[in-house]
C-alpha cells in the first residue's frame, strides 16, 4: 500500500506509525508513506494556505487554489480521503475495505476545514473517527492508518487473532487472562484452565454476548439481526 498525506505539518508523520508492527511493516516495505507539505503550493512568500470564510463566521478555511495545486501535483488516482467529523464513520468493515487499496491519499485539514469545492471537484470521501473534534486531521489520519495497516498481509504474525477481535461478528471481545493464575487474590476463571476447548469457546461467546448487550446495545441489535431466526 502506498500512502500520501497532505498536511501543513509533514513532520508529524509517520509518528507512532513508525513503531511496533506498523513501523516494522513500514521498514519491510509492506506499506509506504509520503507526507506532503501543503504550504509548498502556496502562492505567497508567507506560505498562506487559508482565508476567512465567505459569509462571515469564526475561524479560517483552507483555500481551494492552494490545496488544489497540492492535489494536482500529488494525487494520481486511488482512494482519496478527507478526515472530517461529518464524514462516514470509521468502522472495522470500512477499515477492511480500505486495506484493499493500493494507493491511499489523505487530506488533513486544519482551522475550520477546507473549501467545499475541493471535496466536490475531486469526489473526496469524508471519514470520521468519532463524534468529537480534534485540532487537526493528522491525529485522525494516523489512527485510521494504524487500523488499516495492521490488516495488510504480512503485518500480523498470527492472522487467526483477527477473527477473534472485537467487531468481527458485531460482538465485543471476551475478557482475556494470562499468568499468574492467582494475582492478589483474583484468579483466572476455572473454565479457561480446564483444557476443554468446547467449554472454553462457549464461555467466551457468553461473555462476549453479555458485554456487548451491556455496553453496546447497537452492536447487539446488529448481531441479533445477523442471526436471523
- For residue 121 the three cell numbers come to 471537484
Write the CB contacts of 113 (distance below 8 Å, at least 6 apart in sequence): 61, 62, 84
Measured over the CA atoms of residue 156, residue 5, residue 51 and residue 123, the dihedral's sign is negative
At 49, the pLDDT band (50, 70, 90 cuts) reads very high
Q: How far is CA 53 from the centre of its chain?
A: 29
Evaluate whether 50 touches 84 at the Cβ level (below 8 Å): no
Residue 54's Cβ-count burial label (10 Å; 0-12, 13-18, 19+) is: exposed
Rg (CA), the chain: 22
Q: Which domains can be identified in the chain, with CATH numbers?
A: 2-149 (3.40.1280.10), 161-227 (1.10.1270.20)
**H or E element that contains 60:** none
Q: Give, in degrees to the nearest 5, the angle at Cα 172 between 181 and 188.
A: 10
Grid-cell match 513532520, residue found? 11
- Verify cis geometry, omega within 30 degrees of 0, for the bond prior to 14: yes
Q: What is the mean pLDDT of the chain?
A: 94
Q: What is the pLDDT of residues 72-108, one digit of tens each?
A: 999 999 999 999 999 999 999 999 999 999 999 999 9
Residue 128's Cβ-count burial label (10 Å; 0-12, 13-18, 19+) is: middle
Give the span between the Cα atoms of 11 and 23, in whole angstroms.
Answer: 16
Percent of the chain with pLDDT over 70: 96
The pTM score is 0.89
User: Is the backbone of residue 34 left (phi > 0), alpha (psi -120 to 50) or beta?
Assistant: beta
Q: What is the pLDDT of residues 151-187, one digit of tens each?
A: 999 999 766 556 566 677 889 999 999 999 999 999 9
User: Is the backbone of residue 77 left (phi > 0), alpha (psi -120 to 50) or beta?
Assistant: left
Q: Give, in degrees to the nearest 5, the angle at Cα 69 between 68 and 71.
A: 65
Grid-cell match 451491556, residue found? 214
Amino acid at each position: 500500500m502506498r500512502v500520501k498525506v497532505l498536511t501543513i505539518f509533514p513532520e508529524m508523520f509517520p509518528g507512532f506509525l513508525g513503531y511496533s508492527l506498523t513501523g516494522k511493516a513500514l521498514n519491510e516495505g509492506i506499506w509506504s508513506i509520503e507526507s506532503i507539505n501543503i504550504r509548498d503550493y502556496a502562492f505567497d512568500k508567507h506560505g498562506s494556505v487559508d482565508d476567512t470564510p465567505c459569509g462571515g463566521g469564526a475561524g479560517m478555511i483552507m483555500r481551494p487554489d492552494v490545496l488544489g495545486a497540492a492535489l494536482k501535483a500529488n494525487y494520481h488516482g486511488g482512494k482519496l480521503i478527507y478526515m472530517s467529523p461529518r464524514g462516514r464513520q470509521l468502522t472495522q468493515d470500512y477499515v477492511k475495505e480500505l486495506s484493499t487499496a493500493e494507493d491511499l491519499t489523505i487530506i488533513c485539514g486544519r482551522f475550520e476545514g477546507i473549501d467545499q469545492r475541493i471535496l466536490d471537484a475531486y469526489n473526496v470521501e469524508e471519514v470520521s473517527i468519532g463524534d468529537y473534534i480534534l485540532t487537526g486531521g493528522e491525529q485522525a489520519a494516523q489512527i485510521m492508518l494504524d487500523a488499516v495497516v495492521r490488516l495488510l498481509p504480512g503485518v500480523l504474525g498470527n492472522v487467526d487473532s483477527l477473527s477473534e477481535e472485537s467487531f468481527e461478528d458485531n460482538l465485543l471481545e471476551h475478557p482475556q487472562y494470562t499468568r499468574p493464575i492467582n494475582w492478589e487474590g483474583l484468579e483466572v476463571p476455572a473454565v479457561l484452565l480446564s483444557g476443554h476447548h468446547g467449554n472454553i469457546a462457549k464461555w467466551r461467546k457468553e461473555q462476549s454476548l453479555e458485554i456487548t448487550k451491556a455496553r453496546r446495545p447497537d452492536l447487539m441489535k446488529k448481531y441479533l439481526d445477523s442471526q436471523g431466526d
